[in-house]
Structures are given as C-alpha cells and as structure tokens.
Amino acid sequence: MSATDEPAAEPGARFAAPALPDGPAADRLRVAQVPVPDSLITALEIDLGTDAVRVDERSRAEAGRDWWPLTFAWALQGAVPTHAGVVVRPDDAAGVATVLRLASEARVPVTPAAGRSGVCGGAIPVAGGIALDLTGLDRILDVDDISLRLHVEAGVYGDTLEADLRTRGYTLGHWPQSIAISTVGGWLACRSAGQYSTRYGKIEDMVRALTVVHADGSVAHVGGAGPRTATGPDLTQLFVGSEGALGVITDAVLAVHPAPAYGRFAAYGLPTFAAGLDVIRRVLRRGATPAVVRLLDPLEAIRHDYPGAVLIVLDEGDPVVVDAMMTVVDDVASGAGAQRLGDEIVQSWLGHRNDVSALEAAVRAGWVVDTVELAGTWTVLPDLYHRVVRALEMLPGSIAASAHCSHAYIDGGCLYFTFAYESPANLDAKDRVWRAAFAAVMRAAMDTGSAISHHHGVGINRSAYLPEALGAGAYADLVAIKHALDPNGILNPGALGLPSPFLPDGWSWA
Ligand SMILES: Cc1cc2nc3c(=O)[nH]c(=O)nc-3n(C[C@H](O)[C@H](O)[C@H](O)COP(=O)(O)OP(=O)(O)OC[C@H]3O[C@@H](n4cnc5c(N)ncnc54)[C@H](O)[C@@H]3O)c2cc1C
C-alpha cells in the first residue's frame, strides 16, 4: 500500500469537534469492515494522485466521525464510531465519477462526506470502505444577474459562499447556525434550513438543478430548464435529502437574491409558548413572511430575563416590503397582548447565532446533550411541545428539556428541542441515556403525526424510525428507488435505514 500516510491537513480541515487524544482510536460501532483491496488504492492513486488518497490511522479515524453530539463523549475517551478504510479527496466531478466507478467495480462501499457537521451520523462510513471527502469541489462557478441563479460546486462552505456573493451584491439567504462548517452539497443532501427561511425558504426551495454522479460513475444533470416545470416527476428533489445514499451531488444551481440594503427587527414577550405559537400562526395566515420568526419557550427565554416565551422577528430586503411585514407582526402581536421587549434581545441573538462552541463544553461537563427538530402542523404543535418536554423530563437524570419554534410556514412549523442529562462517565451508560431520550422524542413525533426531522436528516441515529415514520408503502418506494439507482448498495450503507449488503439484516444503531 503506497498511499499517502501523513495525517491529512488543510484544506479539508474545518471540522471542529473535540480533538481525539493521541494514539489510535477505538471503533465503537463494531460493525464488520469491508476490506479495501490494495489494487483499488493503487488505482485511486494513479487516477487521482497520491495526495488525494489517505490511509494513515488518524485520517481514517477522523473520517469515521461527524458532529453527532453523543460521539463527542466517545471522542473525549479516544473512540470514534468507526474508521474509514481509505479517505479520498477528489477536486472535481470527474474525480468523483472515477472513485465511484472503481468502487463499484470492486464492490467497496463509498460514504460521501463534506463539512461533517451533520448531527445524525450520516457521514460516518459505517461499514468502512471509502470516505469520499467532497470539500475539494470548492469553486463558485457563475452568478446570472438577470435570472438570479448561482452555479456552485458542492463542496463550497457556507460562509465562503455567502461572503463571495455579498461582494457581488447578492445573498443566498441560507444561514444555518453551522454555516462555517457545512457545505452546499451537505445542505442539499440533508434538506437543510437556515435561520432566515421564512423569507428565503429551505434549501429545497432554492435549488433549481443538480449534477449527480450515480453509484456506477455515470452522471445525470437534473432540473435547470425553468423555475418550475411539468416534465415528469421532479428528479432534482429525488436527490435533495437523499443523504448520499442515491448519488453524489457535485454541483448545484440555486436561486439567489439581491443583497438586502434594509432590515428591521423586534422582540415580544408572551405568557406561554402556546400563546407565542398562535401569534406566529396568525402572522403567517395574514400573508407575512418575515425572514426570522423564532419563539423561545420560557426555559430558553430565561437568558433574556423574561418570565415567559420570547418571540424574535427580523426581516430584510426592500424597505416597502419589510415595513409591511413588520407592521403585520406588530399588529398581530399587540392584538394578542404581547409585550414589546428591548432590541438587545435580538442583538444578542444576532451576535451568537453562528456560535457552535456550546455543545463541546456541555459534553466535557459530563452531560448527555442533543437537539432534535420536529415538524408538525399548527393543529398539533402545542400538544407536540408538551408531549416531548414531558417525556424528556420524566427520564432519570434530566437537567433540562426545552424548545424553540425555529421555522414557520402557513400550515405549521418546526419545534427544535434541546435536552441535557446527568450521566455516568461510562460510554455504555451515556449511550443508554441518549437512546432513551431519542426514543421518547421519536415516539411523540410519530404519535402526533409529525415529521421525525425538519432539517437535520435521518443519518444512522434516526434510521430505525424511518420505516414507521414514512409508512410501509412509501418506505417500500424508497427501497425500490435505492435498488434501481444503486443495485450493489455501495452508497452510504446504513443511511436512511435502507437495507445494505454490507450490514447485518436490520442493522441500526438505535
Ligand atoms: C452546531 C451545529 C448547528 C447546526 N445548525 C443547523 C441549521 O441551522 N440548519 C441545518 O439545516 N442544519 C444545521 N446543522 C446540521 C448540519 O450542519 C447540516 O446537516 C448540514 O447540511 C451538513 O452539511 P455538511 O457539509 O457538514 O455535510 P456532512 O455532515 O459532511 O454530510 C451530511 C450528509 O450529507 C451527505 N453528503 C454530504 N455532501 C454530499 C454530496 N455532495 N452529495 C451527496 N451526499 C452528500 C453525507 O453522506 C451525509 O449523509 C447544524 C450542525 C451543527 C453541528
């Protein structure tokens, strides 16, 4: 084996989870690993260059983890979910196609990965094989000023993209908290949502076209012909949310907007979370769609010194439109008896909204911490909130169970729950605490007819719940599509809970 054996360095190195201790890492998933033949590594080196191929222990261990919070505790004790067999970092779509063609011929699994900011274990190469690092596809190709379309490669990081667009006078309007550690392709693969989604939409609303490399290395260009089409089913959306299990996205066309020159914000206090949800529902019903509509429950509002729920609203864009939006918000909020609060609440949120450091501190304190984002209709959201918080609080060791409404639509919204538990240092004990908490949240979601994920995706840590969440018929359709597009099952084994020839029957982490 002659591939590069020095640890991988820049530029694929933004991943900001806790550093692994020195020395080899242990594998915690303990799934049998598919061997990567030397002949495949040699072929990858010949086609992509030795710098693009890594087999050293540290690179393979790093590629074996993502931002799934439970695994932070594992990392602090020297364990990763698994090791990749080899890490490959092509720098263009042709390189991606080569990797997939060679892997397909050798029947070796390939797990696409980019920022590895996913929190569901979706980028973990569960069965080993090739970790396909897509951050080398980092070119911003074109912006069409007339049609307001951006053409960008999949591995471009969010903050790099937004900064570039601003210099040209545009914004994508996609602001996930993880903007500095996540990529365009990761957003598309997970159906990401930014904090400003009520104006700009989720990533699935922005995408117009994709280039996708299939499992056998062949290429499809999907979408692109017009803003909306009636040319059969929407194949672009088939790959949006496919979590690397149906194909590898190499570039995308996204709708952009003129950079906003004007913005306004406001904060309101309400006696209860339910009262706040009702204000949001009425705002959307009046046709107003301000960029940020965020409601903190009383526990999350404590940091703002308010003894109730706090609603943050922000809009940006054309002054006439923004003023109209904020007039509707103020009208609905005052009609509901909301108290207008100081601007410092919104300024404080703006100052911290892309800070990703809190999680590591909580894990280092010994807690089991995670977040879960569920989507439901306005009819069920108040009940969903109470069910989840109650279920989380009833489990032993509960320190906190809170929520905010992070995204809103005409027919419902996303509730983003955070939980924290005291836990022994023992990793098996931590895993049990996490599993119980997640099971309680998933049960509440499915019992209320809500979606088990709004924007984090399924990965491997929710995969056991997907068949029930989708329903038998829809899940069978997904399995059939997987089989048609990836007959040898090489793409991202374990993702989306799909059956895999590389995993024991019915394997799931949960
Ligand atoms: C602190 C923190 C805050 C977060 N806040 C938000 C938020 O506000 N909104 C939000 O939506 N998410 C958020 N996330 C989750 C995460 O950032 C998103 O899921 C993001 O879309 C992942 O992008 P990535 O480039 O890191 O993908 P990765 O984690 O590398 O991969 C995620 C999944 O996508 C697949 N994949 C990646 N690239 C491709 C590709 N080019 N083609 C095919 N499959 C691919 C992988 O196989 C994997 O299944 C947050 C995460 C953290 C840690």
- Tokens for 151, please give them: 């053409």
Is the pLDDT at 6 greater than 50? The verdict is no
d(CA 24, CA 256): 45
Q: pLDDT tens digits, residue range 329-373?
A: 999 999 999 999 999 999 999 998 988 888 999 999 999 999 999
Average pLDDT over residues 163-170: 98
Q: How many CB atoms lie within 10 A of CB 216?
A: 16
Amino acid identity of residue 349, one-letter, is W
Taking the centre of ligand 1 as the mean of its atom positions, its distance from the CA of residue 187, in whole angstroms, is: 5
d(CA 314, CA 288): 12
Taking the centre of ligand 1 as the mean of its atom positions, its distance from the CA of residue 123, in whole angstroms, is: 8
- Tokens for 23, please give them: 């020395």
**Residue minimizing CA distance to atom 7 of ligand 1:** 176
Which of 9, 88, 7, 10 lies closest to 47 in space, CA to CA? 88
d(CA 304, CA 267): 11
Is the pLDDT at 376 greater than 50? The verdict is yes
Average pLDDT over residues 391-417: 98
> Domains in the chain, start-ordered, CATH in brackets?
26-133 (3.30.43.10), 140-258 (3.30.465.10), 263-352 (3.30.70.3450)
Residue 193 CA: nearest ligand 1 atom is 11
- Model confidence pTM above 0.75: yes
Measuring from each residue's beta carbon to the nearest atom of ligand 1, which residues come in under 6 Å? 66-67, 111-119, 122-123, 134, 154, 176-178, 182-183, 185-187, 189-190, 192-193, 243-244, 248-249, 356, 455-457, 492, 495
Taking the centre of ligand 1 as the mean of its atom positions, its distance from the CA of residue 322, in whole angstroms, is: 30
Whether the Cβ atoms of residue 280 and residue 408 lie closer than 8 Å to each other? yes
182, 461, 492: residue to mutate for ligand 1 pocket, most atoms within 8 A of CB: 182
How is residue 482 annotated by DSSP? Answer: H
pLDDT at residue 487 in the model: 98
Q: pLDDT tens digits, residue range 477-494?
A: 999 999 999 999 999 999
Q: Characterize the bridge pairing of strands 86-88 and 130-133.
A: parallel
Residue 457 CA: nearest ligand 1 atom is 19
pLDDT at residue 510 in the model: 82
pLDDT at residue 12 in the model: 55
Whether the Cβ atoms of residue 129 and residue 82 lie closer than 8 Å to each other? no
Residue 181 CA: nearest ligand 1 atom is 26
**Residue minimizing CA distance to atom 5 of ligand 1:** 177
For the purposes of burial, counting CB atoms within 10 Å of the CB of 417, is it exposed (0-12), middle (13-18) or buried (19 or more)? buried
